[in-house]
Structure 1
Amino acid sequence: MSSTTLENPTAERSSGSQPERKKRKSPLPWFLLAPTLIVLGVLTGYPLIRLIIMSFQEYERAQLMGVPAEWVGFQNYTDILTDPDFWTVLTRSFVFMIFCVFFTMLLGILIALLMLRLNKGFKLLTSIGLLLAWAMPQLATMIVFGWIFDTEYGVVNHVLTSITGNDWMGHSWLINPLSFFFVAGIAIIWQAVPFIAFTMYAGLSQVPGEVLEAAQLDGTSPFQRFRLIMVPFVRSILTVLIILSIIWDLRVFTQIFALQGVGGISEQTNTIGTYIYQVGMAQGHYGPASAIAVILVIIMMAISYYYVRQTLKEEEL
């Protein structure tokens, strides 16, 4: 007796050989992000596009009255990149930025380490003092520092006269470019330290105490415990803080502009922010000023590239 075997079309399919269907990504996150992206596009994207367009135009004060701007291609960039004044200002800005970032990070980390050892009362007082410095408007800060270093009635000149016995009254701290940036650096660092201190304190407080105690029992010094244990725990935080500080201090404007109004010589104390203002608003050359601003944006993007790359690598792990 012969039997016919009915072939089942599904018999050849094995559960293990079926490719798994890719999960469809939900569009909900994009719907939630849409309002924010639209606001960013309007408030940030449009000005940036307009800035790039102006950098390729001969845009002067006449264009503000409705006169069409002439396209000049890369002429503005050529003029700026071949201008010795631009490179002098850019170099000065980088040197000043390195000075501010170094001492801001140093003092911020030291204060954060100090806060780890303070009791509750002193920690509260320290936090209030940091918050007051952080909350003070930049312009108000520079008015105060301008008064402290005032030529005739400044506190610093009065104290130096009392301590040294020499007559410091009448000494101008803002005429000399070196002392000008010393005063500006103190003001900028004073306001930037609280953010670094609070952020580093939040990160360092998460370091396991058992690990630190074990390292102390092994005979390591405080510096070794900080370098070998604490720093690896907060390396990502340090990276973010350094990059943010570089960006903030490289494009600083208010502090320098305010001190120039008090007594500084703008040609000798311009940083990249005030230089853009001088070329654009004071001289009326908006095309070259836009080109400088675009170059500054490119520099900022290059500085941020390392942080973005590291962040993407950490997300892939």
Structure 2
Amino acid sequence: MHAVDSPTTDPMMTPSDVIAQPAATRTRRRSADGRTPWLLALPTLLVLLGLLGYPLYRMVLLSFQNMRLRELITGRTPPWVGFDQYTKVLGDPVFWTVVRRTVVFTAVSVVISVVLGLAVALLMRRVHRRVRLFMIVAMMFVWAMPQLVAAQIFKWMTDADFGVLNYLIDKLPGVEFQGHSWFLSPTQGWIVITTLVVWAGIPFLAITLNAGLTQVPKELLEAATVDGANAWQALRGITLPILRPLLIIVTTLSVIWNFGLFTQPWVLRDSKVEAEYQTLATYAFTQAFGRSNYSLGSAISVITVLLMLGVMAFYIRQMFKIGEVD
């Protein structure tokens, strides 16, 4: 039998060469390991670049032009107007009213969604296993329902003539609710829209936070109970600090999703969104396709993206922080 050759059997190698060879091998291995994730992610990055990067580039370019219906039909290059579209948008008080309405709706809906989602998650930890399984399955059905279908259901439920909600309220003693229109008052209309958004958002929050609650050590909760802490004190002093990274992530995601509100008001208002129900997404769409101000709509969309970049940067920063901790 022949012995297997090893680097140390080479008479031309010095001791320093023998020591340096494993170090060089480890360096090459680390370099290869560092490239592997990028190579695996490259196809996905290329697809995202084509599906998102190019449309975003076209939208930014269009916001510096003046695309009108004539250029759209003839295919001519729109004239370059520089920052005129942004000047027009930022100087329009209606735009700032829409921004303020979008921010207020996002803040209110996210706070309600996270609080209720956490409450449902805490309830899931206290009920029987079969009840918890039933709750998860029911919420998964809600989560899987398309936004368009959910909005159509809420539209039927709040219909002034045939809505089941008016019918049930009208059955209360001394209440006359037959034929009531929920969208004549912007306050009532936004209550309906917010209820729809919160209802659709709770499943994700509750299921995610329930998974996070399983990581809270029972020994800490039992020790706090022995020390005389009540349920609220245990929640505030033990559960919430442990859930804090997860709460930040789900809250940030909820902000991103709710800030881009479009489907719910668009469907509930029969594709004719009144000024009182305009959000940044519907306002940009209305300007671009309702009034053929394509460049103005692009400028509004670019501003919306810039507003969201701050939230997205915060989300990514939190993800990296959690990765460092892990």
Among 293, 300, 306, the alignment partner of 2:308 is 300
Residue in structure 2 matched with residue 170 of structure 1 by the alignment: 179
Q: Distance in 1 between matches of 2:279 and 2:88?
A: 18
For the 8 Å contact 1:145–1:187, the answer to whether it is kept is: yes
Quick check: 1:56–1:76 contact (8 Å CA) kept in 2? yes
Cα distance in structure 2, aligned partners of 1:236 and 1:122: 28
TM-score w.r.t. length of structure 2: 0.88
Please tell me the root mean square deviation across aligned C-alpha atoms, in Å: 2.2
Give the unaligned 5+ runs of structure 2: 1-13
Question: What CA deviation, in whole Å up to 9, does each residue of 1:194-251 have, x standing for no partner?
Answer: 0000000000011111111111111111111111111121211111111110111111
Paired position in structure 2 for 1:3: none
Aligned to 1:35: 43
Residue in structure 2 matched with residue 79 of structure 1 by the alignment: 88
Say whether the 8 Å CA contact 2:266–2:273 is kept in structure 1.
no
Q: 1:125 aligns with which of 127, 131, 134?
A: 134
How far does the alpha carbon of each residue in 1:36-65 deviate from its partner, in whole angstroms, 9 at most, with x for none?
111111011111111111111101222222
The equivalent position to 1:291 in structure 2, one of 292, 299, 302, is 299
Gaps of 5+ in 1: 1-9
1:97 to 103, 106, 115: 106
Aligned AA (2:179): G
Residue 97 of structure 2: aligned partner: 88
- Aligned mates of 1:63, 1:110 — CA distance in 2: 54
Residue number in structure 1 paired with 2:27: 23
For 1:50-94, what per-residue CA distance to the aligned partner results, in whole angstroms no more than 9, with x for missing partners? Answer: 111111110122222202111111111110000011000010011
Aligned residue type for 1:182: I
Q: Distance in 2 between matches of 1:184 and 1:164?
A: 27
Asked if residue 274 in structure 1 is aligned to residue 274 in structure 2, the reply is: no
* CA–CA separation in structure 1 for the residues paired with 2:62 and 2:172: 55
Q: Which runs of 4+ in 1 moved over 6 A?
A: none
Letter in 2 for 1:140: V
Mapping of 1:206-285 within 5 angstroms? 206-261=215-270, 266-285=274-293
8 Å contact 2:161–2:179 — kept in the other structure?
yes
In structure 2, distance between residues paired with 1:308 and 1:191: 24
Structure 1 counterpart SS, 2:269: helix
Q: Deviations over 1:82-130 (max 9, x none)?
A: 0011000010011111111011001100000000011122112211221
The one-letter code of the counterpart of 1:290 is S
How many Å separate the matches in 1 of 2:317 and 2:43?
26
Quick check: 1:203 aligned with 2:207?
Answer: no
Between the aligned partners of 2:175 and 2:223, the Cα distance in structure 1 is 54
The residue correspondences of 1:59-70 to structure 2 (distance < 5 A) are 59-65=67-73, 66-70=75-79
Paired residue secondary structure (1:57): coil
Secondary structure of the corresponding residue to residue 125 of structure 2: helix
**Could you tell me which amino acid in structure 1 is paired with residue 165 of structure 2?**
V
Q: Percent identity?
A: 37
In 2, Cα distance between equivalents of 1:97 and 1:313: 25
Instruction: Give TM-score scaled by structure 1 length.
Output: 0.90
Return the alpha-carbon distance in structure 2 between the equivalents of residues 315 and 111 of structure 1: 27
User: 2:4 maps to what in 1?
Assistant: none
Secondary structure, in 3 states, of the residue corresponding to 1:118? Answer: coil
SS where residue 97 of structure 2 aligns?
helix
